[in-house]
Structures are given as structure tokens and as C-alpha cells.
Amino acid sequence: MPALLAALGTALVLVALYDGLKTALSAQGGAPLTSALSAGVWALLGHGPAHGLPRRAAGGVALAAIPVAWTLLLWAGWTLVFSSVEGAVVDATTKVPADLPARVYFVGFTAFTLGIGDYVPVGATWQVLTAVASFTGLFLVTLAITYVLPVVQAVAEKRSLAGRIHALGSTGAEVAGGARGPGSSLERQLEAVASDLTLHAERHLVYPVLHYFESDGPRTALAPRLAALSDALLLLRHGLPEAARPDPVALGAVEGALDDYLGTVRDMLASPSEDAPPPPTAGGLPRAAADADRALLAANQDRADQRRILWAVVRQTGHDWPVSSS
């Protein structure tokens, strides 16, 4: 039994450290425990309308739950280790072996504070393990802080990105209506959006919990803004006369950034939508190319895979696809 307790406790400590290190420092996304915990919180809270409190709170709850889970795992693991031998920890005054609640108390103060001396380890082995427990606790707390703060910053920048896209237009037709040919201000704005969206996709890969932070405001909810951007890209390539279109290189940069983002979030979806959203129509444009709607229908089919994923993201966040004016 002592060996089993020590082995189980060591395993819990290692799981907590591995999950924390991989999640915070690997830049490869969440470790298994973190990913499962975030998905579980979203499954519990991420239902109902976008403006509902549970959905809006899901991201923050998931982010708070991650360091709490690391802490509890570490705490439980070291408690089992120090419980594997009866005389490992004793009362500092009476020298009576600590019972289970006292060991939980001892491990908590050892791992997450400097300790207060009510209970002490006995023997060199347990003294060394006490120092190791203290180091792992303070290390994990520091790791949690270095993970949480960049996520909060990334959430703010996610909403800022949504606002920048919304400033171009609330629907694809509104965005495309601002096109004035190569070199226009819209082209420069699209290039800036492409850069910001590429950065957001990378942050999404590093901090998968970012996916569960949603806004109910039309200006700051990223998913419907990206839907409008997807419609705009189709209209800018296929709905306008060639002279009114932005530089194809700029459009390709935005399309590539959008594809990178959708590739990152695809694994977080139960499945893409069965059908692609309908193509935007050229009827809302000040000027439309000849046979624009036929070209838009074909382009929508060509990008069906990406648009099916995006439609699933929009639905998952509780929003509707922004309808282009006709």
C-alpha cells in the first residue's frame, strides 16, 4: 500500500506538470487534460443564444478551471506521496504523526506558500521531498500566470479584430461595395486584416481555450464578422467588374489567413455543417460584373469545404450568418 500511494501520487504530480508545461510552453495547443476540461466546460455552458450568460461566461470559466485543475492535481499527488509513510509528517510540537487532513494542510502550505511550521517532515528524504514539492507548486503557479495573462490579452485582440472587420461593413456586400480597384484604401485595410487574422490563427493554435471566448455584440463577435468577410471575398473576386476589384494578391492573402484560421479551429468542431452557406448575391453591389451570380455560385462550390467549417463556427457561437443586402 505505501508503494502504491507513492506511485499514484507521483503519477498525479507528473500529469499536472506535463499538462502545465505542454499547455503553456509548447506552442502546440492544449495538453490532453486542458483540452478535455475546456471542451467539457463548453459542452456544459456553450448552449443557447449568443447573449446568454452561460455562453458568454464559458471562456472565462474554462480559463479559470485550467490552473485550478493543475493545482488540485499537484496538491492531491503530493498528499498521496506524503501519506505513503505514516511518520513522514509530524506535528512540530507534539511529534505526533499527522492525520490525513493535517497532511493535506501541510502539502498545501508547502507547495503554494512558504509554510508556517505547524507540521514538519521527518528525515532527510522527506525534507528533500518537501523542498521539491515547494518548488513544483511555486513553479506551477508561475506557469499558470504566464498562461492566463496572454490569453486575456488575446481575447481583447480577438474582439478588436472583429471590430476592424465590422468597420469595413456588416455584410459581405457592404464590404465589397467599398472597392475602388487596385491600390484603394479597402485593399490596404484587407492587407491589415490578413496580417491580424494570421496572428490570431497562431494564437488560436497556442491557446485553444481562446475558441470558447465569445462576444454577443455584433461588432465584437468574430465568427459572424469572418462570415461577412468570406462573402466579401467572393464578391470582390467574382461579383465586381475586373477594374473595380482589389489586387488579387491582397485577396489571396486574406483568403489564406482565413483558411489558416479555419484549419486551426476545425478540430474543435463536432463536424462541419452539412451544406455550405448560400453564396452572396451581386444585387447589393453598386456595380456588378456580367454573370456575377453564376460566377458566385461556382466560387461558393469551390470554397465549400472552408465555408462549411465557417458556418459551423458561426452556429456554434450562437450567431446567424450575416445576410447580404439585395
Quick: pLDDT tens for 21-34.
999 888 777 788 99
pLDDT at 254: 95
pLDDT at 51 over 80: no
Cell digits of residue 163: 471590430
Q: In a 10 Å sphere around its CB, with 0-12 CB exposed, 13-18 middle and 19+ buried, how is residue 1 labelled?
A: exposed
pLDDT at 265: 86
Q: What mean pLDDT comes out for the span 140-146?
A: 91
Determine the Cα–Cα distance for residues 117 and 306; give it in Å rounded to an integer: 60
* Cα torsion 296, 301, 307, 311: sign: positive
pLDDT at 116: 64
Q: pLDDT per residue over 80-114, tens digit each?
A: 999 999 889 998 888 899 999 999 999 998 988 86
pLDDT at 118: 85
pLDDT at 72: 95
* Cα torsion 26, 27, 31, 37: sign: positive
pLDDT at 324: 58
Angle at 21 between CA 16 and CA 27, to 5 degrees: 140
